[in-house]
Amino acid sequence: MIPVPLLVCVMAGWCAVYLTDTLLRSSVTHRIRYESWLASRGLMLSPFHVRWQTTMFNRLFAYCARINPRALYLWFSSGLVFGIISMVGSVVLLTKTLQQTLAQMTTDNPRIGSQQALQVVVPGVNLPTSQLAYFFTALLLSGVIHELGHAVAALREQVRVNGFGMFVFVVYPGAFVDLFTTHLNLISPTQQLRIFCAGVWHNFVLCVAALAFLFLLPLFLLPAYSTGGGALVTEVVQGSAADGPRGLSVGDIVTGLEDCPVRGVEDWSSCLSHLSYTPQTGYCVPVASLQPSWAHGRAFKRLDGTMDCCSNNSLTDLCFSYMKPQGKNSREREYACMPVRKMVTGTWVCRTDDDCTAHSHTASVCVTPSLENQTRFIRVTHPPNTHMLFVGYPPHLQYSVSLTNFVPRFGFLHLDLPVFLETFCKYVVSLSGALAVVNSVPCFALDGQWMLNALLEATLVTVVTDRQKRELIGFFLLLAGSALLAANVALGLWMVTAR
C-alpha cells in the first residue's frame, strides 16, 4: 500500500500551493502583480499541475541543429525508421502483454505473470519509497532527452520552436517543447515523421547508452573498485535473518554459500536459487563424534512429515540425520541433536558417506540437517569472520541483505557510489525504454498519434485520395491503439493493487 505519510505530504503540499494561488488571484491588491510575476517566469498553476516554459534554451537547440547537417539528416532518418518499427512493435508487445495478463487472471499462474514484458509501476505499491529519487530523476532525464530530440529535429526541418518547458503532475515530472503549428503543417509528411519520431528515437539511444555504461561500469571504476572477489554487503535489514552478532555486517565480503562460490551479486542470487531447489547439503562428521554423549533426542514427526529430534527449542542445537555405519544394508537412519556450529565448522560438504571417505582419513559419515521441506541450513562464508549459519527459507536471506559487486580498493571510498550509479542506470534503461515503447503506440495525445497521421499521409495519399477517408482510417486505428493501451494500464494497475 502507498505509505500514508507520503500521501498526506503530497496532498498537503498541493493544497497549500492551490490555496496560495487562489488567495493571490482573488486579492485586489496583489492579483495583477502576482499574475505578472507568473507570466514573466513562464509559470502556470492548476490543481495538481505546475508548468514552466522558457525560451532560454532556444539558442542551444539552434546550435545543435546546425552542427553537421548531413550527419543530422542521417541521424533523424534513422530515427524515422526506428519510429515506424517501434510503432508496430509496441502494438505487438502490448497485445502480447495483455494476453499474458488475461491468462494470469484466469489461471492464477504466477509463472505467467513473471514473463510479462511490461509492468505498471506505482510508487509506494510496487516501487519502494527509498527508490523514489532514482525513479523521478531518471523519468525527468528521459523526458528532457525525448523533448530535446523533438526540438533539434524541428529546427533542422525549419520549424520554429516557441519554447521548452517542464511540468509536475501530482508527483510525476515531465518535459515538453512548444512547436509553431503553422510551420509544422507546411512541411512534408516525411519531414513531420522525422520530427515526431525523434523523441522515441532519442529515448532508445539513451536506453542503449545507459545499458552500455552499466555494462562498462566495472572498467570505469577499475582504478578505485575491484570486482570478482565476492559480493560486498552494503545494507542488512535490522531484525532480519542476517542481522545479529554472528550475522552479516556492512562491509563484509561474501565469498561462498555452502559449496557454491560467490564472486558477485549474480552468483549470490543463483546460489540461493540453487540451494532452494536442491536437497539439503550434508557434512562429514567423524563417527567418534556420534556418541551417546551427544544426548540423542528421540525423533518425532513434524506436521509436514519430516523428523525432528531437538525438543528444547535450543538456538545452538540442530537435529541431524545419518545412516548408521553398521546399518547401510538396511538403510537404517539415525537422528541426533547436536551443537550445530561445532559440528559443521571446518567440515567437508557431502551428499553420501562415500564423499566423506574421499576427503577424510578417519571414519566419517555424512550427516544432514533434518529440516522442514522448504527450510534450508546454509553456511555463509565471509572471511575473515566465522561462518554465518542460516536456518530458514533461502529467499528470506536474499531479501535481508543488499550487496554490490564493487569492493573499494581504498578505505576512504564510499560503498554506495557504485550502487548509486548501478541503480540510476537501471532506472534510466527501464524508464527511457518504457517511454520509447509507450510513446510509439498509435494512441490519442501521444507521439504515436502524430506519427501515425504523418505515416498515413506519406503512404496512403496515392491509394486513398480522399483526405477525409484517410483521417477516418487514422481515427479508427488510433481508437484501437488507445483501447489497447488503456486495457494494459487498467489491468496492470488492478494486478498491482488488488494482489
Active site positions, annotated: 147
* In contact, 388 and 246? CB cutoff 8 Å: yes
CA–CA distance from 148 to each of 51, 142, 145, 162, 173 (Å)? 17, 10, 5, 13, 16
Q: What is the rounded CA–CA span in Å between residue 139 and residue 266?
A: 26
CA–CA distance from 7 to each of 10, 123, 267, 492 (Å)? 5, 10, 38, 21
115 grid coordinates: 514473463
Residues 360, 363, 368: CA angle, nearest 5 degrees: 80
Please count the helices (runs of H) and the strands (runs of E) in the chain: 15, 20
Residue 28 has phi, psi (to 5 degrees) of: -70, -40
- At 205, the amino acid letter reads V
CB-CB neighbours of 66 under 10 Å? 11
| Strand 260-261 versus strand 300-301 pairing type | unpaired
SS (H, E, C) 356-425: HHHHCCCCEEEEEECCCCCCEEEEEECCCCCCEEEEECHHHHHHHEEEECCEECCCCCCCHHHHHHHHHH
Burial 337-373 (b: 16+ CB within 10 A, else e): bbebeebbeebbbbeebebbbeeeeeebbbbbbbbee
* In contact, 196 and 447? CB cutoff 8 Å: yes
